[in-house]
A and B are shown apart, each in its own frame.
Chain A
Amino acid sequence: MQDIKMGFNLEEWYAHKLQGDVIFKYTGSISPEMITHALEAVEDSPLLRKERLQTRKKVYNVFVECLQNLYHHVDAPPAGLSAGGSPNFGIVCLVHDGSFFRVTTGNFILRSKVNFIKDRIEQLNSLSDEEVRMLYRDILGNEALSEKGGGGLGMLDIVRKTGNKLEYFLYPYDGEHIFFSLDVYIS
């Protein structure tokens, strides 16, 4: 792929994210079938099988939430993207990076959503572990399911399970699109 706009090079971003031992990588349409295959691949990974049960389950759980977040929330990519033109275009990789497992996702979003995503992540990152737990219970107990079935718990669950802050970047891509890069670290 060779997609460079406004100083952001998708190919370079991807290559950088693949540093470490790659357990799974994918670029293209995020569909329920793709998610099933991805989960099978991750479960079969010898690198993960060496880990203790709790780490394995955490990685799997967080990976599921990241993939399903993508599935429910991606916007269609810019026209003419050489990396792929599916409306549900996303990039995901799971890498063993030093003492961490890292799930990275990348997808295009419309500029109009930038503030919402930024505020949401900043809010989650500002909370203590206990606050995350209380907020999770509060949303689980009080809020109805969203139309997409997510219930607003996905990101919160990721933060809770990993105990780590979400690392994200929003790269302007063109007048309409922003490339949203998210790194989740599981120790």
Chain B
Amino acid sequence: METIIREDTPKTPYVKLDGEKGVVEIKGRSIPENSVEFYKPLIDWIDEYGDDPKDNTIINIQLEYFNTSSSKCILDIFKKLELLFKKGFKVQVNWYYEEDDEDMFEAGEDYQSIINLPFKMIEMEE
């Protein structure tokens, strides 16, 4: 599957969807007014990837900020990956947060409580 890379902007994150390695990366800030417009192509890609996924899929989320409209879209990404996990594929979520950033830590906990995926919380030093 083709690899998609989107560079970051002041309101949208860097995104890399690597079908060869089975790695999804979302990094930076996600605060667009219309998050559905930004995330829909990414969710469609994951949907397609799900037809022929790698045995191991890793998703790295390293967000500095995200708005509430992005939060729903991020959940939609997790839900797509949850489907793979239910089919028996390995999926690992790595949720990065900066040391001292309780809000981002709690956001990771929120997702962990909603979705059924192996979730690793990774603290980064400031």
Contacts and interface: CB of A to CB of B under 8 A. Distances in A.
Interface of A: 32, 35-36, 39-40, 52-54, 57-58, 60-61, 64-65, 68, 71-72, 133, 136-137, 140-141, 145, 149-151, 153-154, 156-157, 161
Given A53-B101, A136-B110, A140-B72, A40 B10 contact: yes
Contacts, number: 73
A141 B75 contact: yes
A145 B102 CA distance: 25
Nearest to B11: A36
A53 B126 contact: yes
B68 interface: yes
B69 A149 contact: yes
Contact of A151 (B31, B68, B101, B104): B68
A18 to B, nearest CB: 25
Interface of B: 10-11, 31, 33-36, 64-65, 67-69, 71-72, 75, 98, 100-104, 106, 110, 113-114, 126
- Which 5 pairs from chain A and chain B are nearest by CB? A153-B68, A141-B114, A149-B69, A151-B72, A157-B68
A65 B68 contact: yes
Given A61-B65, A149-B33, A151-B71, A140 B114 contact: yes
Nearest to A60: B65
Contacts of A151: 68-69, 71-72
- Report whether over half of chain A's contact residues are helix, strand or loop; otherwise say mixed: helix
A153 B36 CA distance: 15
